[in-house]
Amino acid sequence: MFCGSIVKITGVKVYPLKFRPIYKQRIWGGQKLKEVFNKDIPAFEEIGESWELADLPEDKSVIANGEIAGQTLSWVVKKYPEQITGNKNFATPFPLLIKFLDADDILSVQVHPDPQTCRRLGKGQPKTECWYIIAAAPGAVIYKGLKKGVTKGQFAEAIENGTAAELLAKVPVKAGQCHFLPAGTVHSIGAGLLIAEIQTPSDTTYRVFDFNRVDDAGKPRQLHIEEAMESIHFGVRSSELPVTTVGRLVDCEYFKVDKADQGNGSELLLSPGKMKTMIFITGCGTLLSADANPVEFRAGDTILIPATYQGAIRFADDTQYLTVTI
């Protein structure tokens, strides 16, 4: 059995942190988060998003395990920055937002701004993201970027005519793929997809088309056509945006994502030095340390591993997981 150690911080021991999911009802959501991950979502509600790790002004993840359960992610990082992040001068907010998305129906056609666009518009927060496809119905697609040669004028006319989706690059997808979407990429998620979304901490979304849907009150959702047209990077082809399936999935200036598999009964040593966030896609197991309570995990859990933590993971089933570092 592995014997590791952890570092004490003012009477509190650093340990792997689990968080209470923040559920978001969406017009395109469903119940797959309960079916696949046994999430405790409200029955019969269209839950499109489960925010697993968040530090936004209106949505802050709350720690669900151990001595500091009930405190927020923001609180623990501010109080113990070096022990959690490895940097005593670490600046908040936490630089990641991690979600699970259940696209039971198609999402709106939308775009997120880059830093330059935010400065130009004088509002919003930039957002770069990636989508890891956990499950995909037969024939499932995403829309990623514009078709070759589509100009700003052509896209503006298509928005006016209600045909904007026809100018998007339609990309078939399957489980195990990771699609990188830098800020400025116009996009949409098709129906029948369960996705892990890793992104910069922003909820700025500009919709340009919503497939003529209305909400429960019979009203269309708000569009942000002017801001979206300012944000879209025209001329970027879908084929230029990486699609990966093994190893290092994403390596951008904001975050890195790695994919790995471990077999039933195997162990993985966790050495101190670098904070990491682990997203468990399948399987189950236990995080162990010599002088701390074990932390169990199962598929659908997201766990923050502090920089000073030393221990091991014992896998009780075949497990696939993503590791996110900054």
- As annotated, the active-site residues are 207
Name every residue whose Cβ is closer than 8 Å to that of residue 179 and which is 6 or more positions away in sequence.
130, 131, 133, 142, 144, 171, 173, 241, 242, 243
CA distance 221 to 214: 7
**148, 237 Cβ separation under 8 angstroms:** yes
Q: Name the token pair of 285.
A: 């197991």
Give the number of other Cβ atoms within 10 Å of residue 250's Cβ. 22
Cβ neighbours around 74 below 10 Å, total: 18
**Number of C-beta neighbours around residue 120 at 10 A:** 12
Cα separation, 19 vs 315, whole angstroms: 20
Two tokens, residue 138? 């037969």
Burial level of 149, CB count in 10 A (0-12/13-18/19+)? Answer: exposed
Amino acid letter at 236?
Answer: V
Cβ neighbors of 166 (< 8 A, separation 6 or more) are 158
User: Do the beta carbons of residue 294 and residue 286 sit within 8 Å?
Assistant: yes
Closest Cα partner for 167 from 158, 175, 176, 178? Answer: 158
The answer for residues whose C-beta is within 8 angstroms of residue 251's C-beta and 6 or more apart is: none
Residue type for 27, please?
I
